[in-house]
Chains A and B, each alone.
Chain A
């Protein structure tokens, strides 16, 4: 079983709609990282959350870490085709390796 579970696995939304992606950890998180991956490309760092209750925003993307630090959500407001891609949450549990969720594949229909 994975330490980080993401839901949903895939999401298709109409342009302009809001959406939420969730990432749940089986253990308390020290830090939670959101990345975006476009098909055939690398990972682009979006945001990092460390404190329980923390919320960060970048353009139309907002990420939150719950108080217990075991779940994070990524919310996109008024989605655009440029938001399409695979969203990955990552976290560190052991010393050196970042563990990742399986990813959420987002499609935005124009």
Chain B
């Protein structure tokens, strides 16, 4: 998993604070996907971004969550006014081209950020 870099690995926040999670895709990849893994649940898609564009945010909660992937720098997943239910592992994946069900290559995942809300 050395290719996709996520930081921090662990993040602790108090209720009401903001959480910022960062993801640097693999070299040469310009497509980034964010997933959330709740305790004892599977991975759920949140958002798909290309550089400077949000392509698909159908899995994002409508409030408090936002994502960006600027021209320079990592992709950021931002959670405002965190609540206990936001505690989860957040994973970022990347691909060199837009990934679809027809793709002949996988999405490559980072090690995730484990967010804990006190």
Contact = CB atoms under 8 A, between A and B. Distances in A.
Contacts of B109: 35, 42-45
A102 B48 CA distance: 21
B114 A40 contact: yes
A2 interface: yes
Contact of B101 (A44, A45, A94): A94
B44 to A, nearest CB: 8
Interface stretch (A11-19, A57-65, A74-82, A85-93): A85-93
A interface residue count range (under 10 / 10 to 19 / 20 to 34 / 35 or more): 20 to 34
A106 interface: no
Contacts of B104: 31, 48, 50
B59 interface: yes
Contacts of B1: 41-44
A61 to B, nearest CB: 15
A30 to B, nearest CB: 4
B77 to A, nearest CB: 15
A48 B108 CA distance: 12
A110 B38 CA distance: 30
A88 B33 contact: no
A88 B35 CA distance: 14
A101 B105 CA distance: 19
B102 A99 contact: no
11 contacts: A31-B101, A35-B109, A40-B114, A41-B111, A42-B109, A42-B111, A43-B43, A48-B106, A92-B99, A92-B101, A98-B93
